[in-house]
Structure 1
Amino acid sequence: MSIRSIRARLAADPALGAGNVLATRIALGEGLDEPLLTFDTPVDDHAAWQPFTLRELDLAVRSRAAALHGLGIGRRDPVVVWSTAAADHVLTFLAAARLGAIPALLNPNLDGEKAALYIQRLRAVGILTDAEHRERLAGRDAGAPLLPDIASLGLGDPAQAPEPYRHWGGDPVAITHSSGTTGLPKAVVHSHDSLYAAIRYRLALPRPQGSERMLSALPAPHAATLIISNLVMSQHAQLAVLSSQTGAGVLDAIERWQPGGVIGFAATWADLARHDLSERQLDSVALWWNTGDCAHEAHIRRLIATGSRESVSREGRVREPGSVFVDGLGSTEMGHSHFFISHSKDSNRYGRCVGRPHAFVDCAVLAPDGSELGPHEVGELGTKSPTLALGYWNDSVTTYRTRVRGYFLTGDLMYRDEEGYYYHVDRAVDSVDLGGGHRLFTSMSEERVLAACPDVLDCTVVAVREDGAVVTDVLLQLVPGADPEADRTKEVTAALEEHTAATVRRVLVVPDERIPLGPTGKVRKILLREQHLAESAAASAALAGSTAGAASTAGTGSTAGAAE
């Protein structure tokens, strides 16, 4: 059976979903001994970077399903997975799905206090961790028992694994969490159908060049990792999953594994841009695939200048320099990017354009009262899609507050043009009302600064309200070798809209550690604003103390002089 035939059969199977892709592929009996999934850490009897075939993957999953079953984990049981290795998340998800259980995947970068509070709210039946994360929970009440070390699941007897659970479309199959940039992460629950809806759509399309061998630089516990894992199983491609998403680590993995495509988040592309990409062996990459937050033009242009793609010429098929970057906009709750746009060296539609919506998406830009706005009017994105998550686990209040007229409110401020292209300007929580019909959009401002200042690697705009007025500090992270002492104020303010530029108080070059990041690498702007307010208050207090001391000293000196 050809790959095309496998794709067609899977796309036409109404019972297929995120919970039973592996079992369905095994039942087809095709391609069982071809390489499929690769992990960057040792797994059972596999060394790091040794690929699992479909047959070997099924064996590893059945071993874990048997072990979980032996621990009493069964249908509808939420079980926490908190581990550093990407393999633990992917394999435990597949094993839990076989049982009809609900794995709750936690980002390994969460701190122990926040993780314990998050787990309490889940009301999980147990916690699977590695040694590092078990230590982080020591002395904390997570409201659930610690189960045996997650590595021990591979010792289960695959022959004792129960038969695969038969999923209904609305069955919950996973809980993942939001980025946590505004506080405690929200627990998002995905269904059998919702996590597969976009895959079914993609199976009917031609495979993009580079997608036959993909490297995942996504956080392993994210919904996007579950989607890409099921996608490669459905179209019988190859996937290597990384446990860390640092720029240096991703570049090393590209050189080692030679993928045709790399999928990741905007934070990783920014980190890659810190490196001299011309010195790295990136020729194998034809496709960069972004999901989550849309990417900045400055970072996209650096990437599409690398890699190579096949094209047809008079001499036949040839490989030419340059790659394609597929951008979009998605979130944990969306379940899959809802927009897409392709960038190559010949394209020029930027300005935070996220493209047009996928065919499975019905979206609108909404006013605060829920009415639909017209072209070029900024409002909140509302979207309807079969990929949407069911809601927030154990949190009906937040679930229903994010719904209006059947739309899910994403929290993104956007507008569309007359051609149907959508543009992302900011997160609603990060924009600031300047009065007079003007707003300050931090994300769009950062885009403008990066596009105008080639020696700026990354930019964070922090707007705070002080004494009734909005003041803005622009924090710059520079490319290696750039002069940190140069005054870039004029260049930065010239790039901004006039009403935004008028609020700029300072343009500062800052070290990387000055920018607080969430577990997925997003800037925690709310925390950054709080830090700025605290620093400003401390500076004002220090200045006031210094001024008072100087006045006191000056008064004493004057009196003494008069006396003399």
Structure 2
Amino acid sequence: MMGKKPWLDMYPADIPAVLEYEEKPLQSFLKEIALKFPNKVSTHFMGKEMTFKEIYESSLKFAAYLKQIGLEKGDRVAILLPNTPQCVVSYFGILMAGGTVVPTNPLYTERELEYQMKDSGTKIIITMDILFPRVTAITPRTEIKHIIVTAIKDALPFPKNLVYPFIQKKEYGMVVKVAHAGNHHLYTEIMKKPVPEELNIPVNINEDLALIQYTGGTTGHPKGVMLTHKNLIANAKMCEAWLYQTKPGEERVMALLPFFHVYGMTTVLVLSIMQGNTMIIVPKFNVEDTLKTIQKQRPTMFPGAPTIYIGLLNHPDIKKYDLSSINACISGSAALPVEVQEQFERITGGKLVEGYGLSETSPVTHANLIWDEPRVKGSIGLPWPDTEAAILSLETGEPVETSEIGEIAIKGPQVMQGYWNRPEETEATFKNGWLLTGDLGYMDEKGYFYIVDRKKDIIIAGGYNIYPREIEEVLYEHEAVQELVVAGIPDPYRGETVKAYIVLKEGASATEQELNQFARKHLAAYKVPRIYEFRNELPKTAVGKILRRTLVDEEVKKLAEADLKNA
């Protein structure tokens, strides 16, 4: 298989196999677009809009202030914010000042936050007022020297900005007031300063880190993925090439995916700035609010995750909303059930396709064709331009034959430099220049790739290899199922046994026996779940990836407690 790239024969004429990349830093794209479209709307946030010129000038102010408080080239600066215009400004401001961005999940507990701040060696952090107590609690145990504080109200129009503190107090039970003094700094005070000159700090785009992106932590402690300016630029350019029918400067992008996740950062934040598209920024996912926003703001592009689309489709009044503005959606972070894809396309009239990637690849490596045939359901699609993909044998590490299952491996300009301060884990993740993804899959004769499952998620029951994704695809076809995940849990006889965790659609009903009979019609007996558990919700990461490992850990803990009780 090595050396063969059958997927290139499937490319439409409009998508080039090889792209050109300009030798310039990531932040230069913001300056260029601000000069090209100074008065065009860059961000729309809860009724307030900022132009590209305003975002650029605000980023210059932020960069100058970072230098003023001691930022040196390569210093890490954490962004602990939900999706807001301040996210965009601080992201580009950090890069303009020569810093490295450390995106951080605002839902993190003190323990999780402390781990990431210590591991990255973060020196400066920008956060929300309501998160300020959490940050100050962990600061003495980290290298953080300065805390910059902003608030949702800072980005709101009048009179919403006056009313919001009362809403915040009702929702969170507190209003935090921070003084602009000492090592605590207010974003609003920084923005009052005059627009400074550009800093023009030299950047080696192939070596200087733009980002330390922490992995989701679904397989142990999160690791810091080192991504250069070139990595992120390359992946955004690949995305631009894949979306060849879109019109730069005219698209409206639903910015619902978290910017602190590399998927949202690359496909929404970076690509929108690069192309001059308007971001409709949404700070958190609420089904009804999202439907209203789509109807009112008319986004044309909507990158998302299966759980987002599933949530929208299962709203009882979805047909009352006009979603026809949506033209293109690439779904990532988890497998996209075929039923969800077909239903979403029927309702919107747009295209929804499955893609694939990981933090280590900035993140996208594969996607289905959006407007061209064949779009292969159940496949993650074709490798993107300049991306090499192979299936390697788990036994020998050598390439396998077409349609044979092995580990997916990637090469390309979007592939990370390695893990921050983890040389041994970096070395273990690469083999002969290939990044090992940890995902099992195969490639068909046309070059379409298919995920079978995570290496770590294979269920071995009674000597059989069972792939959870196959079972999930079948159960998703049941009309009562809204969401589910299948996992292997410890079993004294079979080693592991198959368990399905099910969330039913609102108003729907299904019994364990009914689901079992349904599964038996479509699956070999050894693959059929032995246990079904009905839940109101499933544990997820910030981008909607269901945490299968968390559920397995719960089962292991239950068994350990039972053994202790019976001892």
What corresponds to 2:405 in structure 1?
378
C-alpha deviation, 1:248, in angstroms: 3.4
Deviations 1:421-468 (A, max 9, x none): 1111111111123465x31111222122113x1221111112112214
Q: Determine whether 1:463 maps to 2:488.
A: yes
Q: CA deviation at 1:207?
A: 3.5
In structure 2, give the amino acid aligned to 1:37. T
Within 5 Å, give how 1:306-385 maps onto structure 2: 306-307=347-348, 322-342=349-369, 349-350=376-377, 352-368=378-394, 369-385=396-412
**Shift of the alpha carbon at 1:366?**
0.9
| CA–CA distance in structure 1, aligned partners of residues 221 and 86 of structure 2 | 23
Letter of the 2:419 partner, please give it. Answer: Y
Sequence identity (%) = 20
Residue 491 of structure 1 corresponds to: 518
More deviation, 97-106/191-200? 191-200
Match of 1:166 among 176, 194, 202: 202
Q: Which residue of 1 aligns with 2:548?
A: 525
Kindly indicate whether the alpha-carbon contact (under 8 Å) linking 1:340 and 1:354 is maintained by their aligned counterparts in 2. Answer: yes
Aligned mate of 1:185, from 222, 229, 249: 222
Q: In 2, are the aligned partners of 1:381 and 1:411 still within 8 Å (CA)?
A: yes
**C-alpha separation in 1, matches of 2:375 and 2:366:** 17
2:338 alignment partner in structure 1: 297
- 2:506 is matched with which residue: 449, 473, 480? 480
Distance 1:270 1:327 in 2: 14
| CA distance in 2: counterparts of 1:206 and 1:83, whole angstroms | 28
Identify the residue that residue 66 of structure 1 maps to in structure 2: 64
Q: Which residue of 2 aligns with 1:557?
A: none
Instruction: Give the conservation status (yes or no) of the 8 Å contact 1:66–1:158.
Output: no
Q: For residues 299 and 70 of structure 1, what CA distance do their matches in structure 2 show? A: 50
Report how far residue 18 of structure 1 moved: 2.2
Structure 2 counterpart of 1:254: 294
Provide structure 1 residue ranges, at least 5 long, that are not aligned to the other structure.
1-10, 41-47, 308-321, 546-564
Between the two proteins, the alignment pairs up a number of residues equal to 504
Aligned letter for 2:556?
A: L
Contact 2:64-2:97 within 8 A present in 1 as well: no
Among residues 229, 233, 255, which one is paired with 1:196 in the alignment? 233
Q: Secondary structure at the match of 1:480?
A: coil
How far 1:106 moved relative to its partner?
Answer: 0.3
CA distance, structure 1, for counterparts of residue 122 and residue 42 of structure 2: 32
The 1:174/1:71 distance shift into structure 2, 3 A limit, reads: same
Change (3 A) 1:246 1:494: farther
* DSSP-derived class of the 1:267 partner: helix
- 1:556 match: none
Deviations 1:271-328, CA, capped at 9 Å, x for gaps: 2233132232212112222233332212212211122xxxxxxxxxxxxxx2111321
Three-state SS of the structure 1 residue aligned to 2:66 is: helix
How far apart are the structure 2 equivalents of 1:87 and 1:206? 24
In structure 2, C-alpha distance between the alignment counterparts of 1:397 and 1:476, rounded to whole Å: 39
Check conservation: 1:194, 1:389, Cα contact below 8 A: yes
In structure 2, distance between residues paired with 1:421 and 1:404: 23
Write the distance in 2 (CA, Å) between the matches of 1:290 and 1:372. 28
1:145 aligned residue: 144
Secondary structure class of the residue paired with 1:519: coil
> In the alignment, is the contact (CA less than 8 A) between 2:43 and 2:85 conserved in 1?
no
C-alpha RMSD of matched pairs (Å): 2.7
Task: Describe the SS at the equivalent of 1:68.
Answer: helix
Q: Who is 1:118 aligned against?
A: 116
What corresponds to 1:52 in structure 2?
Answer: 50
Q: Contact 1:210–1:287 at 8 Å: present in 2 too?
A: no
CA distance, structure 2, for counterparts of residue 199 and residue 399 of structure 1? 24
Change (3 A) 1:541 1:188: closer
Structure 2's unaligned 5+ residue stretches are 1-18, 151-185
- Residue 494 and residue 534 in structure 1: after superposition, are their counterparts in 2 closer, same or farther (change >3 A)? farther
1:226 equivalent to 2:265? Answer yes
Residue 367 of structure 1 aligns with an amino acid whose one-letter code is S
Deviates more, 1:205-214 or 1:417-426: 205-214
Q: Is the 8 A contact 2:126 2:147 kept in 1?
A: yes
- Looking at structure 2, the residues matched to 204 and 527 of structure 1 have their Cα atoms a distance apart, in angstroms, of 37
Query: 1:220·1:243 contact (CA, 8 Å) conserved in 2?
Result: no
Paired residues of 1:377 and 1:416 also in contact (CA < 8 A): yes
Residue matched to 2:473: 447
Match of 1:238 among 260, 278, 283: 278
Cα offset for 1:158?
A: 4.2
Which amino acid is 1:147 matched to?
H
Q: Which residue is equivalent to 2:180?
A: none
The structure-2 alpha-carbon separation of the partners of 1:98 and 1:500, relative to structure 1 and needing over 3 Å to count, comes to same
Q: Within 5 Å, give how 1:273-284 maps onto structure 2.
A: 273-276=313-316, 277-284=318-325
